[in-house]
Structures are given as C-alpha cells and as structure tokens.
Amino acid sequence: MKSFEGIRDLLPESAIAIVDVIGLEATMQLVEVLGGVPMPVNKGVLARGDTRLDMLRQAVGEENTRKLMSAFGGEEIYIPNCYHALRECFWRQFLSEFDALRDEGVSVLMALTRLCPQHKVSYKQAMKVISARKQNARDQPTLPFD
C-alpha cells in the first residue's frame, strides 16, 4: 500500500484544493485514474449515465464524488498528474521494501533482483536512488548533543 504521508508540499495548488475536500489518499486515487485532464463537475443530482460522473465515482467513490460536487459544482476542475508526488511515493515504497529485505539479511544484489522487475525499474536507476539516499544521509549535520 502506498503511503502519501508528507507529500503535500509536492502537490500543485489544484491538487491541494481537491485534498482539502476529499483528503489526500482519495485525491491521489483520483490523480492515478484521471490525472492530467480537466473535469466538469455537476452541481446537483448524481445522474446515472453521465460518463464523467461515473468516472469520478469509480475513482473516488460515491461519497467523495458528492463532496466534489458540493465544493466544485458547476465548475471545471483540473486534475493534475502530480508526477513529482507520485514518483516520490513510488521511490519511498521501493526503498521501504528494499530496507525490509536488507533487514531480513538479503544481499543488495538479491534484493534488487527481486524488486527491480517487480517495480519495472532498472538496476542502475535503483542504485542511483539508493546511493543518493546514502549521500543525503551523510550530508545531514550531526547534532553536538543528544
């Protein structure tokens, strides 16, 4: 399961407006399904057969669709693709799984042999991210006190 915690600062304003209405997790579900497109939002009745509303319902459920209609009814909202936030979530998840395998005693090579095909990333890209994380950890100043 993806963790979206701590990514709000990576989101564009249009996504933050949606987060304020339906929450971060539901917004990210919406982005994964419909990101990158404008979406007219009806004002009132949840008419069956309205393709756009059906797409919203499938993405975020009936209750969140009603919340979006209440907040944005009569407007067209842009659902951003939130590329940077989704990439950050992807790499956090990847590194979490990598760390869990390493904690179990699995070698770096074996961990990446398992994870790279599963997540459709190359070994080289994964090593760049792992190396960058190590470098960032080294660059953090150490406190002179406990």
The 10s digit of each residue's pLDDT in 49-66 is 578 888 899 999 999 999
Distance CA 68, CA 39 (A): 11
Kindly report the pTM of this predicted structure: 0.69
Q: In 10 A of CB 82, how many CB atoms?
A: 24
What tens digit of pLDDT does each residue of 102-140 get? 999 999 999 999 999 999 999 999 999 999 988 776 665
pLDDT at 10 over 90: no
Residue in this structure with the two tokens 């399961």, named with its chain if needed: 1
pLDDT at 101 over 90: yes
37 three-class SS = strand
Contact, 80 vs 12, CB < 8 A?
yes
pLDDT of residue 145: 45
Contact, 96 vs 134, CB < 8 A?
no
- Cross-strand partners of 104: none
Pair of tokens at residue 111: 């961990």
Rounded mean pLDDT, 92-110:
96
pLDDT at 26 over 80: yes
Q: Which of 7-11, 20-24, 110-114, 142-146 has the lowest mean pLDDT?
A: 142-146
pLDDT at 48 over 60: no
